[in-house]
Amino acid sequence: MRRVLARRLVAGSLAVAAATLLAIGLVLHAPGGRHPAPALPRSVLSGKPVTVAELRGRAVAIAFVASWCGPCHAEAAALERFASSSSGKGRLVAVDYADYGNVRGELIGRYHWTFPVLGDQAGTTGDAYRVLHLPTTVILDAAGDIVARDSGQQTVASLRRALADAG
């Protein structure tokens, strides 16, 4: 009897967990879920300060990264290639998410990043952008609204495609 009860309890817990994950996924990827982008951090680790208002007028990618994140290192060279390309100039900003600026040597220096990198030591900006995993790239449309969010490594092609889709 106890085994049956324990199995039902485990099955119920798994069902609740699955439903929760599904709900989170639906919220994060809901169609028509455009909403204004929260403010970017003021702390500048590399490049010039950037605000959401200054980014308006064209689609932009915001890459949330950290020095301890293996997949962030795996995509780092592609981020620089994209930022250096004619289609990527001025369309990429990185945010060092809760990493206390360690990204300076580990990503900015090692991969020779030339795009703005902002520091989010407390993780509040990442939380406002609903970053759950690293790396995460958030796409803003020309109006400064969030139109897409992708957790996982980016490539030059995926960034071009995402920005083209955002208009």
Tell me the pLDDT tens digit for each residue of 46-82.
999 999 999 999 999 999 999 999 999 999 999 999 9
On the question of pLDDT at 85 being above 50, the answer is yes
If pLDDT is split at 50, 70 and 90, which confidence band does 1 have? low
Calculate the alpha carbon distances from 164 to 63, 76, 154, 158, 161 in Å: 17, 21, 15, 10, 5
The pTM score is 0.80
Mean pLDDT value across residues 86-111: 91
Higher pLDDT, 40 or 5: 40
Every domain of the chain and the residues it spans: 1-30, 34-166
Phi–psi pair at 148, nearest 5 degrees: -160, 155
Q: What angle do CA 73, 82, 66 make, to 5 degrees?
A: 25
Adjacency order of strands within the sheet including 60-65: 35-36, 145-151, 136-140, 60-65, 92-97, 117-120, 43-46
What integer pLDDT is reported at residue 137 of this predicted model? 98
DSSP 74: H
If pLDDT is split at 50, 70 and 90, which confidence band does 158 have? very high
Which is nearest to 163 in space by CA: 14, 68, 61, 69? Answer: 61
What integer pLDDT is reported at residue 50 of this predicted model? 96
On the question of pLDDT at 153 being above 60, the answer is yes
Q: Which CATH class is domain 34-166?
A: alpha beta
Higher pLDDT, 7 or 34: 34
